[in-house]
Amino acid sequence: MSEGQKPQSPPSTEEAVSARAVYDDIVRRINKFQAALDPDEKMVLSVDGVATDAVGIRGVTIWFQGRNNQGCAVVIVKHYTQVSVVLTAERLYRGEASTQIGFITE
């Protein structure tokens, strides 16, 4: 820890409950969105303009994992009050299989 930094205290129970509520709402909306897709569509989950394929929660942060345009791994971590996601339906390319968003639990 560098000079002048205070150790972070663990999140309050209220904050952890609120973070879990936001995560649970995201999961519910993803599942509902995927269930409503046409057979020739796939869902793209974007966070900060990056397509992600997995969502998780740890404490008061929500994690998003995926790959950038070059195929390199990306992890985006957001405080639950700062989360903004975009769900988009896109047509599948010929022969492309639809993928499901994964949910990470610790």
pLDDT digit string (tens) for 53-75? 999 999 999 999 998 888 899 99
B/e letters for 58-94, b = 16+ CB within 10 Å, e = fewer, are eebbbbbbbeeeeeeebebebebeebebeeeeeeeee
Mean pLDDT of the region 77-100: 91
The residue ranges of every structural domain in the chain are 13-104
CA distance 23 to 28: 9
pLDDT value at position 15? 85
State the residue for tokens 């639950």: 80
Name the band, by pLDDT with cuts 50, 70 and 90, for residue 4.
low
State the residue for tokens 């995926």: 66
Provide the 10 A C-beta neighbour count for residue 26: 21
* Contact between 44 and 91 (Cβ < 8 Å): no
For the whole model, what pTM was predicted? 0.82
CA distance 9 to 80: 16
